[in-house]
Amino acid sequence: MMKSFFEAIQWLFERILFAPHDLMRFTELKNWWIANLVNWVLWAIICYYIYYWTIQLKIFKDNNEDEQDTTAHSFLK
């Protein structure tokens, strides 16, 4: 009973959940650019949100809504 349960978990991970990783692994052998397209897309998304975040920080700082309390810890006094 327990052995079949763990084999089902193994099947789920190996056949279903890791399938995209296997696809990228096999694609890398044929074309490096296609295999790393996912990485470049994720980097573009990260860069966009870092830019968005810094713009939002600037907006709050310009409106004096940014509270900068450097005495949050006793050792910073």
Q: Where are the domains of the chain?
A: 2-63
Is a pLDDT exceeding 90 seen at residue 21?
no
What's residue 74's pLDDT? 66
Q: Using the 8-state DSSP alphabet, how is residue 73 labeled?
A: S
| Nearest-angstrom CA–CA distance, 53 and 25 | 34
**Does residue 67 or residue 13 have the better pLDDT?**
13
What's residue 69's pLDDT? 67
Quick one: pLDDT band at residue 25, thresholds 50, 70, 90? confident
Span 45-65, pLDDT tens digits:
999 999 999 999 999 889 888
Which residues, 6+ apart, have CB-to-CB distance to 57 below 8 Å?
A: 66
What are the φ and ψ backbone dihedral angles of 63, each rounded to 5 degrees? -90, 5
